[in-house]
Structure 1
Amino acid sequence: MRKRLIVSAAAGALALILSVPASAAQAGPGAAGIGDPYYPFAGNGGYDVSHYDIRLKYQPATDELEGTTTILATATQDLTRFNLDFVLQAKEVLVNGRAASFAISREQELEVTPARTIAKGSPITVVVRYADKPGEVERGGYSAWLRTPDGGVAANEPEGAAWWYPSNDHPTDKATFDVSVLVPNGTQVVSNGTLTTSQRPGWTRYNYRQTKPQATYLATLAIGKFDIRQDTTPGGLPVITAYSPDLGANAGAARASVERTGELVDWLSSIYGSYPFDTVGGYVPNVPTGYALETQGQIFYSPAQFARGSNTSVVVHELAHQWYGDSVSVQRWSDIWLNEGFARYAQWLWSDHENEGTTQELADFVYDSHPADDPFWSVKPGDPGADHQFSGAVYDRGAIAIQALRNTIGDDRFYAILKGWQTERKYGNATVQQFQAYAERVSGQSLGALFTTWLYTPGKPAAGTSGIGAAPAVAGLAPAAAAAERPEPKSWKKIQETDSVHDKRH
């Protein structure tokens, strides 16, 4: 997944947001940020969104995007003003059918002042009309709109929505989505959910519907030339895959990997429980980037992931996120281990399934590969900080932590936790602390020391801690030398390829 790091605001700004008394927050403007410790101005306060209706018209040749987004929400306080996260040029804003004044503040805040104060608990209908060239819009030297030779792509994390629709852009405010895009005939559109199309002279309209709660960063849009394929899994789940015709030498490997989506989601369902969404699939556009992103039900892959041949491991990683990250999402961005540690561990499980290295062998190999003075061990996966949110340690040390948990509580309880957590938290949000409490409840064991050691303590744990890195018995070799002789699992190079394309992270 692509993780574009938002520049954090000053600590004083965060303190100001978090120190507003509850009584003061009940009237007046909604907060300019949701109060996330890593990104204080991500999202907004004062309302809760239930649905986005996004209607667009796009000209691929000129990058001209016209849009009307209707937002259905409920006020969580008396509102005299509220913000939307948006960077394109707004033309008109209506609130509950009446014209509202609006202005841009900071880098991507659309401040909306309705004609009338909105009472707490009241429904809100916001209509924003806009027109712009998203590929030409930058904020802080960054654009989340990937211009392609035949159109554009929006797929990014932790932000990206603001380049094609206004929103409350934080994972804690999930909503359902309708995305309808009008494009010239011969151009295709990829987005999330079930697909229908209609035509009028010279134009085709693509309609996508996502009926399950979806975080804003997990909404994706790709417009250009695509070969769109529709099929079903043996169990009847719709599978939608799409490929740019200009993938060059990577085309065969991309299709050989992504076309296994149905098979792989069925396998993951045996581990995590029933697949949580109405459709599954993936698309590979002609973009120069090197990352993938777990966009909900319709995963974004760059061609670079398949430059060294097919790679089902990266497909497993992104599909695992449909449970760990999409259905159950982070409460705060500091909880990112709940996404990345478990997606990486799914790759290890796949390696085990394919007889290319067990999860224990991979955990031991990663442990041995990083000496004690490696900066790898300085990152705390349970709270890595905004600057290290997508560090390799969050993925790999994070996956070691999961193997350590498995070693401690045994397979039966471990797999019960993997599946039960998804059932209990389905379509919601969670913290690392809540996961620990759940694991303790199911296992009947106190796990504080384990979580502290592997997720929150800088430094390399001693060999053998929680069954990780114990030196194998090799005649004539000291333990350290024996560990150094541990063979590289067969799957490791493919897992490393996934790492190399997540360097920007994700």
Structure 2
Amino acid sequence: MTHPRRRPALLRREAVVATVPVAVAALLTAAGPATAAGSVGAPGVGDPYFPLAGNGGYHVSHYGLTLGYDPSSRHLTGKAVLAARATQRLTRFDLDFTGLKITGLTVDHRKASYKRDGQELVVTPARPLRKGQSFRITVTYNGKPGPVTDPDGSLDGWIPTDDGAFVAGEPQGAMTWFPANNHPLDKSSYDFTITVPKDRTAVANGLLLGQSTRNGKTTFRWRQKAPMAAYLATATVGRFKVKQYTTRDGLKVYDAVDPREATAAAPVLKKLPSVLEWESKLFGPYPYRAAGSIVDHAPNVGYALETQSRPLYDRAPDLSTLVHENAHQWFGDSVSLTSWKDIWLNEGFATYAEWLYSEQHGGDSAQKTFDALYARPASDALWEFPPGNPGSGANIFGTPVYARGAMTLQVLRNAVGDKDFFRILLAWAKKHRHGHGTTAQFERLAERESGKNLDQLFMTWLYAQGKPSHP
């Protein structure tokens, strides 16, 4: 997600099976109350800010999503096939899914009963599922999808545009267009088959496997093999100019740009290969086989998002935004959160990548950027809450998460020296590649790599209220 943070719309300017780590599987096993017939999967994974996000009792290894979208009527038809594994005995489980009409639902090809309860789709299979059992959920649905309003007043999910849809799911919006286990704890591989009018393009994550046109419609097939959280999935639709090429490192790049943004976007997108090469030197090998950009014309959205392997922009990005969203491919996408409370691990790191890029490409040093921020008075919004404990979902895209989060990394760099600091960044991305990480794990890693006690540093910069007395 870009900084400045998202603001309410009226104020904005602007088929590979992934494995789940044992610790994450344990969290997903959280169950609701016991029943005589067995166990009920919990309606959420217990996230402190989004308690109904995700679901307990199972892990989704793969999503197969078949979609058809008509921009003129804003009507979506969908079929979602979820390959899952029960992490406990289940007589009932939930999916996150809201707004669209369900026309059919089966579990292992047997009709299952279901009911809607807010954002929860409560499913009762014809037969209980054993712990460890692999099973398949198939849901067919249709309707006019729309976004959800987040606690900070911004929109995410399926956001209609004048020529299609801007599809960005952080933190809640995946459930507006497909049934999901919608929390970063549960990462999966994906296949997308998306059919749109022949004058539109549908862009999703990963590699484009092919496209074909018939009877006035074009179908696009995309595949994301690497584990991906549901909020990072996209199926953005619009009139786009498309450019495809392969970098000298072998990455398949796919850029889709709204013609209204093409002139402004071109010089920035041209730098993508060099930006990814620079980030790979600092953070380790790029995590995916595909890269690129989706540059839409969506003036009422007000943010960009690090959709996995292909960031999504609401307008032509500047270079700092390009650096930021692609840094997220390591920090946030590959190394994912276990709780939205730890969002600084995504946004603070991506913001600090902007500072490093400036420092190493003739701009201000990271220390100069830090000093300018630290000069702000104690009453400034920068010090409103600590980045390691934003306090609520309304704050997760606030200035302290981005800027004070990045400041924490500069303080760490000063404390341990450049050699250890850059080794810490590299080790963090490598150790948790395609997995998850917590703030506590990052703190321990920093202490191991530096050989220093950093408790006070992290307590002051991540958790203390107000402006720290010493930089």
Name the TM-score, length of structure 2 as normaliser. 0.90
CA distance in 1, matches of 2:108, 2:423: 47
How has the CA–CA distance of structure 1 residues 363 and 28 changed in structure 2, closer, same or farther, with 3 Å as cutoff? same
How has the CA–CA distance of structure 1 residues 355 and 41 changed in structure 2, closer, same or farther, with 3 Å as cutoff? same
Q: Secondary structure at the match of 2:59?
A: strand
* Contact 1:171/1:216, CA 8 A, preserved across alignment: yes
Q: Is structure 2 residue 129 aligned with structure 1 residue 132? A: no
Q: Per-residue deviation at 1:256?
A: 1.7
Structure 2 counterparts to residues 101-500 of structure 1, below 5 A: 101-106=113-118, 108-135=119-146, 144-195=157-208, 196-247=210-261, 251-288=262-299, 289-303=301-315, 306=317, 311-368=318-375, 370-386=376-392, 387-462=394-469, 465=470, 468=471
Q: Per-residue deviation at 1:161?
A: 0.8
* Contact 1:280/1:298, CA 8 A, preserved across alignment: yes
CA distance in 1, matches of 2:336, 2:52: 19
Q: Secondary structure at the match of 1:323?
A: coil
CA distance in 1, matches of 2:258, 2:198: 16
CA distance in 2, matches of 1:280, 1:123: 32
How has the CA–CA distance of structure 1 residues 139 and 361 changed in structure 2, closer, same or farther, with 3 Å as cutoff? closer
Aligned residues: 442
Q: Per-residue deviation at 1:258?
A: 2.3
CA distance in 1, matches of 2:412, 2:150: 42
* Contact 2:32/2:40, CA 8 A, preserved across alignment: no
Q: Secondary structure at the match of 2:302?
A: coil
| Aligned pair partner of 2:81 in 62, 70, 78 | 70
Q: Which amino acid aligns with 1:133?
A: K
Q: Secondary structure at the match of 1:70?
A: strand
Q: Is structure 2 residue 66 aligned with structure 1 residue 59? A: no
Q: Per-residue deviation at 1:90?
A: 1.0
CA distance in 1, matches of 2:32, 2:306: 35
CA distance in 1, matches of 2:444, 2:412: 13
Q: Secondary structure at the match of 1:293?
A: coil
* Contact 2:6/2:397, CA 8 A, preserved across alignment: no
* Contact 1:189/1:221, CA 8 A, preserved across alignment: yes
How has the CA–CA distance of structure 1 residues 330 and 287 changed in structure 2, closer, same or farther, with 3 Å as cutoff? same
Q: Which amino acid aligns with 1:274?
A: P
Other-structure match for 2:51: 40
* Contact 2:49/2:341, CA 8 A, preserved across alignment: yes
How has the CA–CA distance of structure 1 residues 34 and 284 changed in structure 2, closer, same or farther, with 3 Å as cutoff? same
Larger Rg: 1
Deviations 1:223-268 (A, max 9, x none): 1211111111121111111111233xxx322222123211111110
- Greater shift in the superposed pair: 179-188 or 143-152: 143-152
CA distance in 2, matches of 1:402, 1:84: 37
Q: Per-residue deviation at 1:152?
A: 1.3
How has the CA–CA distance of structure 1 residues 364 and 136 changed in structure 2, closer, same or farther, with 3 Å as cutoff? closer
How has the CA–CA distance of structure 1 residues 143 and 408 changed in structure 2, closer, same or farther, with 3 Å as cutoff? closer
* Contact 1:146/1:287, CA 8 A, preserved across alignment: no
- Greater shift in the superposed pair: 234-243 or 342-351: 234-243
Deviations 1:41-71 (A, max 9, x none): 1111110010000011111211111111000
How has the CA–CA distance of structure 1 residues 429 and 206 changed in structure 2, closer, same or farther, with 3 Å as cutoff? same
How has the CA–CA distance of structure 1 residues 183 and 119 changed in structure 2, closer, same or farther, with 3 Å as cutoff? same
Deviations 1:256-312 (A, max 9, x none): 212321111111001001000111111111212220000000101111x65xxxx21
What is the root-mean-square deviation in Å for CA atoms of aligned residues?
Answer: 2.3
* Contact 2:6/2:302, CA 8 A, preserved across alignment: no
Please list every run of at least 4 consecutive aligned residues from structure 1 whose deviation after the TM superposition is greater than 4 angstroms: 2-5, 20-26, 136-143
How has the CA–CA distance of structure 1 residues 275 and 148 changed in structure 2, closer, same or farther, with 3 Å as cutoff? same
CA distance in 2, matches of 1:328, 1:115: 37
Other-structure match for 1:484: none
Uncovered stretches (5+) of structure 2, i.e. residues with no partner: 8-26
Uncovered stretches (5+) of structure 1, i.e. residues with no partner: 6-16, 469-506
Q: Per-residue deviation at 1:143?
A: 6.3
Q: Per-residue deviation at 1:136?
A: 8.4
* Contact 2:78/2:141, CA 8 A, preserved across alignment: yes
How has the CA–CA distance of structure 1 residues 155 and 23 changed in structure 2, closer, same or farther, with 3 Å as cutoff? closer
Q: Per-residue deviation at 1:181?
A: 0.6
Q: Per-residue deviation at 1:32?
A: 0.7
CA distance in 1, matches of 2:398, 2:190: 31
Q: Which amino acid aligns with 1:408?
A: A
* Contact 2:156/2:167, CA 8 A, preserved across alignment: no
CA distance in 2, matches of 1:394, 1:203: 43
Q: Which amino acid aligns with 1:316?
A: V
Q: Which amino acid aligns with 2:211?
A: T
Q: Which amino acid aligns with 2:366?
A: T
How has the CA–CA distance of structure 1 residues 136 and 458 changed in structure 2, closer, same or farther, with 3 Å as cutoff? closer
Q: Per-residue deviation at 1:21?
A: 8.3
* Contact 1:63/1:135, CA 8 A, preserved across alignment: no
Q: Secondary structure at the match of 1:234?
A: coil
* Contact 1:168/1:216, CA 8 A, preserved across alignment: yes
Name the TM-score, length of structure 1 as normaliser. 0.83
